[in-house]
Amino acid sequence: MQIAVLEAGGVGSGVGRAVRFTRYGGPEVLQVVQVPRPEAQPGTVVVEVVSAAVNPGEIGIREGVFADRWPASFPEGQGNDFSGVVAEVGPGVGRLGVGQAVLGFAPRAAQAQFVRVPADRLAVKPAGLGWDEAAAVAGAGATAWAAVAVVDPRPGETVLVSAAAGGVGVVAAQLALLRGARVIGTAGEGNAGFLAGLGVVPVRYGPGLLERVRAAAPDGVDACVDTFGPPNAEVALALGVPAERINTTADGRAVQRHGVHHDAQEQADDPEIWRQLAQLVADGRLQVPITATYPLAAVQRAYHDLATRHVRGKRVLHIASPARRAELAP
């Protein structure tokens, strides 16, 4: 059977809604427009998106900061990681069926009512895992996984995680804890209690960070995951952390000057990794805090809020209507 969609742009209508922008700029260039509904092709499925994550890197793409590396093709779509249900299956797809709950990564396409994805680029969403949390797995979750994997924390070691309450940092901190490491996390004072509740030693960011980390780690720091940018990689180097045990997702200068790692989502772009992460969340061993949700029509506000960088966990767009979400219990 096919899934009935209660809002405009249903499975049988031939159209759907999607975020588009036709020029580089601020959040004001984002528009929600009607677009042709994709059709399943051999080896692909069409997913009806329920939730889609909002990520900092998407701001730079929209503003043209990364135009040399990732140029836009106007009208450009937006969004990468999502959760939803399979609405249509193409020829040659055997492992997924209509109605299957999934999560995945569709570059510049996820913030849309329907998205066509190769069937082997999806992970099955575990029962009981919320749509919003699932939407963050293949992006922030995978980035954290890759960053932690490359610095390889070992039981008893101390790991410094910057922006440890943020969307990537909070997952990275918990993954390091699951490996048996002691984690020191930089954050604002408002997130200190939250991090302590996860088992992370909170340290306030800002001037004097090096001294505060030294005080929190008198025996030294062994590895560092930087998810914010300067000066965190430099602080880690000053603490004696070898460059090969530092990973930054936000400090290209440190990568060029010191040879620290720059592993991110691309190095964990694997549905099997997404499945393992999703299961950790479903089992309650890993938290993906959702700080705010927005209807699709409020996409401009979502990115305005995200740009403040004062966040805990993730912000998520609700692509499906409230009525549709009520039908699709996690």
CATH number at residue 93: 3.90.180.10
User: What is the average pLDDT across 9-35?
Assistant: 88
State how far the Cα of 237 lies from the Cα of 245, in Å rounded to an integer.
Answer: 10
pLDDT averaged over the chain?
94
State how far the Cα of 151 lies from the Cα of 263, in Å rounded to an integer.
Answer: 10
Please check whether residues 109 and 156 belong to one and the same domain: no
Dump pLDDT digits (tens) for 208-220: 999 999 999 999 9
Please check whether residues 208 and 256 belong to one and the same domain: yes
Tell me the whole-structure pTM to 2 decimals: 0.93
Please check whether residues 257 and 315 belong to one and the same domain: no
271 lies in some domain:
no
Please check whether residues 102 and 26 belong to one and the same domain: yes
Question: Which of 33-37, 103-107, 145-149, 306-310 is the least confident region?
Answer: 306-310
State residue 13's pLDDT score. Answer: 64
313 lies in some domain:
yes
275 lies in some domain:
no
- Whose tokens are 């990568």? That residue is 255
Q: Which amino acid is at 160?
A: L
The pair of structure tokens assigned to 325 is 């979400």
The CATH number of the domain holding residue 239 is: 3.40.50.720
7 lies in some domain:
no
Please check whether residues 147 and 128 belong to one and the same domain: no
86: confidence class by pLDDT, cuts 50, 70, 90: very high
280 lies in some domain:
no
Please check whether residues 117 and 224 belong to one and the same domain: no
Quick one: which of 36, 38, 45, 37 has its CA closest to 90? 45
Q: Given a cut of 80, is residue 9 above it in pLDDT?
A: no
Please check whether residues 260 and 311 belong to one and the same domain: no
State how far the Cα of 326 lies from the Cα of 328, in Å rounded to an integer.
Answer: 5
State how far the Cα of 42 lies from the Cα of 47, in Å rounded to an integer.
Answer: 14
Please check whether residues 146 and 180 belong to one and the same domain: yes
| Structural domain total, the chain | 2
Domain boundaries, position 115: 15-136+288-327
DSSP run (H or E) holding 257? helix 252-258
